[in-house]
Amino acid sequence: MHFYFNVLNLLTVWVMMAQLQQGVPDEKEKTTALKDLLSRIDLDELMKKDEPPLEFPDTLEGFEYSFNEKGQLRHAKTGEPFVFNYREDLHRWNQKRYEALGEIITKHVYGLLEKECHLKKVTLPVDATENEPKSFIFMSEDALTNPDKLLVLIHGNGVVRAGQWARRLIINEDLDSGTQIPYIKKATEEGYGVIVLNPNENYIEVEKTKAQVQLSSDSSDEPAEKRERKDKIQKETKKRRDFYEKYRNPQKEKETMQMYIRDNGSPEEHAIYVWDHFISQSAAENVFFVAHSYGGLAFVELMIQRETEVKNKVTAVALTDSVHNVWHQEAGKTIREWMRENCCNWVSSSEPLDTSVESMLPDCPRVSAGPGRVHRQIKGRG
């Protein structure tokens, strides 16, 4: 409570300082009150409550976590599941810690794709120069040469990367629930070639130089008069803020800029690029897709852009909670008809598995994935 009382005091100080600067009457009285408040602020206590450094381990071992034989993430010493609220009242710090762990898990899954699933990592663009931003996909050794069948996996949007369905499920449940590994292993056993797309790896982030930071803050399309007014307000606000900031010393994250990957700057671009350079070149007579969430939208966009090719090569598409919309994406009548015959969208529902679910869109059938998660329900299905 002491800490929160001090913060309220500081907020009061800011208001009083603003009033003083604006020439509010009784300045002497307010100055005396200001000095009284400042004398009662315990700066040492405030500094103790500052956010810890945003510095986290870069390995699972450093976090003291590991995956057990069931693929569950557990603490190395206590055996307990992952705890998000590691530090009370520090949500931002806990979130950054969670994200840091998520990045490690992404690399861990990449390793499993190569070691357990025996997939190879292929760099994109295929003709990338040494210095340009790059992405990658994973594929089996026979992905392009298997004459019979090929399985293509596309995850949804967000923080997930190649080989993942949902980071939250990997961390809170297990690898089988949150990754594509069960699909890949099953497909390999059944004689499929496999290609795993990486549609969210669209750019790399690099730290801005001081000149770039200054340029971005100065550049604006606003009228000069409005910008001057805005600058004046910002300067006045900064004066008041600096009074407190010099004690609090908050952590300021580095400013970064995004450098997009050529021809792979969005999930839709990525799907088309992989189709043009890999899937369409494969020997497989039958190509099958499994696309989750935004991956379904990316597939529909691929159909729109490469309709004839897709119809000639793709046999069937399993969508899971797909967010595609044939009206918004302006999919033509022939595409909608093909989807009705060759696609099925398994959606979250309390109804029994494969029960028909009403749809507002005139495209593919929607059926229940059964009580529970989508990927648990269709796992292992033919």
Report how far residue 89's alpha carbon sits from residue 312's, in angstroms, rounded to the nearest whole number: 57
The yes-or-no answer on residue 293 being catalytic is: yes
Question: Could you say which of 135, 177, 282, 293 is catalytic?
Answer: 293
- pLDDT for 278 equals 98
- pLDDT for 268 equals 97
- pLDDT for 363 equals 87
Residue of 3, 277, 305, 267 whose CA lies nearest to 154: 267
Report how far residue 207's alpha carbon sits from residue 158's, in angstroms, rounded to the nearest whole number: 22
The first and second tokens of residue 179, run together, are 């990754």
Count of CA atoms in the C-beta half-sphere (13 A) of 189: 10
CB 357 within 8 A of CB 336: no
Report how far residue 354's alpha carbon sits from residue 367's, in angstroms, rounded to the nearest whole number: 5
One pLDDT digit (tens) per residue for the chain, 382 residues: 433 334 444 444 444 455 545 554 566 666 676 666 666 555 544 444 567 888 899 999 999 999 999 999 999 999 999 999 888 878 888 899 999 999 999 999 999 999 999 999 999 999 999 999 999 999 999 999 999 999 999 999 999 999 999 999 999 999 999 999 999 999 999 999 999 999 999 999 888 766 554 555 555 555 666 666 656 666 665 555 554 444 444 455 677 788 999 999 999 999 999 999 999 999 999 999 999 999 999 999 999 999 999 999 999 999 999 999 999 999 999 999 999 999 999 999 999 999 999 887 788 999 999 886 555 443 433 3
- pLDDT for 257 equals 87
Helices (H), the chain: 2-21, 27-40, 43-48, 60-63, 91-115, 167-172, 175-178, 181-189, 210-218, 224-248, 267-277, 294-305, 307-313, 333-342, 374-378
Report how far residue 187's alpha carbon sits from residue 369's, in angstroms, rounded to the nearest whole number: 20
- pLDDT for 361 equals 78
Report how far residue 371's alpha carbon sits from residue 367's, in angstroms, rounded to the nearest whole number: 12
pTM for the full predicted model? 0.76
The first and second tokens of residue 248, run together, are 């609090």
